[in-house]
């Protein structure tokens, strides 16, 4: 699969041209960052850090574009849609929980919470690379050991909108997020042991921050 190497249309991804295999070389990433830094000088520091990142998923036109232009960078919807369509209901729900916690609680989520969802023993070590499609795996990154978060907060937001079928309906998104948060807590409660303090803190932050962040988003769209 070809990658878009021409930076003349740098605020978009060409359909069917940029995907997982489009990780940039050192020379290419330097070229992208140089041009993007000129157009988004306020994000120059962030872009410079990408060149030094050990996370290979950040060395991709999508992540660099989102880091430079955020919502002004087009192509995200189609990129996420391909990943969403590659997954089963269970796989997509798992990524939706990670996106929910990452976007609305600003927390990574341990893969170990998915034992019930994946129907494995609670003591099993859960490695998501064994359970998700390559396309879905591209949307998330692991921070520490088995903890996962969205690649970028806009990736998480877009995945949630598509998962909840609420790309254009703000009320549907509002209710969908509430239901998803309740389902997430229910999943934690069904385990045979008491949630850890970290998990309880995450749940508290999720419900408090989700309401605050959604209120800001809702006001912005009104």
Contact present, 83 and 133 (Cβ < 8 Å): yes
pLDDT on residue 15: 44
Higher pLDDT, 128 or 7: 128
Q: What is the mean pLDDT of residues 132-157?
A: 92
Bigger pLDDT: 91 vs 31: 91
- What is the rounded distance in angstroms from the CA atom of residue 213 to the CA atom of residue 68? 22
Indicate whether 134 pLDDT > 90: yes
Q: Which of 161, 123, 126, 154 is nearest to 142 (CA)?
A: 126
Please give the average per-residue pLDDT across 15-35, as a whole number: 70
Q: Any bridge partners for residue 109, and if so which?
A: 148
> What's the length of the chain?
222
- What are the boundaries of each domain within the chain? 7-73, 79-221
| Predicted confidence (pLDDT) per residue in 57-111, tens digit | 888 888 888 988 888 888 889 999 999 999 999 999 999 999 999 998 889 999 9
Residue 111: the pLDDT is: 94
| Assigned token pair, 194 | 């008491």
> The sheet that has 109-110: what strands, in order across it?
109-110, 147-150, 140-142
């Amino acid at each position: 699969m070809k990658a878009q190497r021409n930076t003349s249309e740098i605020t978009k991804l060409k359909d069917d041209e940029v995907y997982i295999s489009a990780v940039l070389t050192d020379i290419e990433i330097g070229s992208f960052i140089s041009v993007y830094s000129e157009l988004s000088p306020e994000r120059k520091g962030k872009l410079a850090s990408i060149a030094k990142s050990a996370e290979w998923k950040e060395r991709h036109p999508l992540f660099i574009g989102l880091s430079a232009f955020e919502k002004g960078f087009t192509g995200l919807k189609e990129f996420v849609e391909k990943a969403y369509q590659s997954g089963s209901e269970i796989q997509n729900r798992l990524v939706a929980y990670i996106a929910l916690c990452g976007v609305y609680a600003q927390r990574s989520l341990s893969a170990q919470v998915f034992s019930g969802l994946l129907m494995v023993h609670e003591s099993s070590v859960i490695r998501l690379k064994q359970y998700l499609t390559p396309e879905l795996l591209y949307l998330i990154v692991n921070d520490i050991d088995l903890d996962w978060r969205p690649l970028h907060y806009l990736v998480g937001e877009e995945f949630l909108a598509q998962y909840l079928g609420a790309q254009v309906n703000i009320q549907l998104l509002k209710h969908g997020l509430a239901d998803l948060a309740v389902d997430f807590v229910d999943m934690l409660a069904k385990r045979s042991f008491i949630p850890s303090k970290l998990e309880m803190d995450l749940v508290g932050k999720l419900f408090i921050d989700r309401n605050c962040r959604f209120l800001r988003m809702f006001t912005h769209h009104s």
